[in-house]
Amino acid sequence: MTHQPSFEIVVAHYNEDLSWLDGAIKACTIYSKGGDKNAPTHPHQKLPNIGREGHTYLHHIVHNYDTLTEVTIFLQGRIDDHVSISLAELIKRSLTTKDGQVMTFPFRELELFDLWDGFPWELYPCWSKWNSMECLRAPMTPGQYWQHFFPNKDMKIPAFIGFQPGALFAVHKSTIQQYPHSFYEKLLNELFLGDMAHINPETGHFWERFWLAMWNPKEYVSWHEDDVAKEERNEQGQLAKGKWHRTPRNVDVDEYISGPAGTQIKNWHKRGRHSFYPARLLPIQHMQQRMQKH
């Protein structure tokens, strides 16, 4: 029988309904930032409402570094605005994650980031939800943070990197542990604690764009403009290196990511790369039965 990797689902919760996790709740570690008023009925750990999901994910890594499961699935309290497949299918795909890979999930495609001098929020009305909130501006630009945390001989900054909007992904233990525990402590302390301990720090938006590039720069970092893959998609079905979607400026709605009925879900379905299931919960037992058949 094929080995099934151990896995854990780490959930960054505020006030979302988590009933969609019921079939896999024993595999979940839920961190709730909504206080007693918004506490979920499931077992959970309370955290202060700071740092967005980045703080939650780094908190988990720092406090569980030596006991990580083979695969960790990082999710937010609501995922159906970014993911079109069932939880069971999401878990199934996550368990195929190899060392060095970061598994992401449709319908959201990977996007391109190259705003190294800072976020010109006013030029991106489609990000207005986050710009309208009180935001603690970062003391450094994204480029300066890159140089600070990932120094290289020439202090180069990539031409662009790929990232997963919403920060929903699965990662292999060895991929996380390619960096020492002290590195993640540094990230947590400098990005989300101390002077940056805020409900909506700009560093949270920066790091949402850095996760994939941090863990697999070979796949998600383009060091120059023509550093682009020949193929359209990589082994995992993601847009290949440098082919990532660029968020358009001066539009209220980015039509490319308007939802499961939008461009990319149709394209994925046409390609037949993956089977799509309704975005409903399948019991974990059913998921395991499906895995045994494959």
Write the CA distances from 162 to 4, 13, 105, 245, integer angstroms: 29, 25, 14, 9
Position 1 scores a pLDDT of: 64
Residue 9: count other Cβ atoms within 10 Å of its Cβ: 23
Torsion-angle region of residue 116: left (phi > 0), alpha (psi -120 to 50) or beta?
Answer: alpha
pLDDT tens track of the chain, all 294 residues? 678 899 999 999 999 999 999 999 999 999 999 999 999 999 999 999 999 999 999 999 999 999 999 999 999 999 998 999 999 999 999 999 999 999 999 888 999 999 999 999 889 888 777 666 789 999 999 999 999 999 986 779 999 999 999 999 999 999 999 999 999 999 999 999 999 999 999 999 999 999 999 999 999 999 999 999 999 999 989 999 999 999 999 988 787 764 443 334 334 333 333 332 233 333 444 343 433 333
CA atoms within 13 A on the CB side of 89: 15
Q: Which tokens in the block code for residue 4?
A: 């099934």
Q: At 162, is the secondary structure helix, strand, or coil?
A: strand
Position 281 scores a pLDDT of: 34
Position 130 scores a pLDDT of: 66
Q: Crossing angle of helices 181-192/142-149, nearest 10°?
A: 150
pTM: 0.87
User: Which distant-in-sequence residues (6+ apart) come within 8 Å of 219 by Cβ?
Assistant: 100, 101, 102, 162, 212, 234, 241
Position 127 scores a pLDDT of: 78
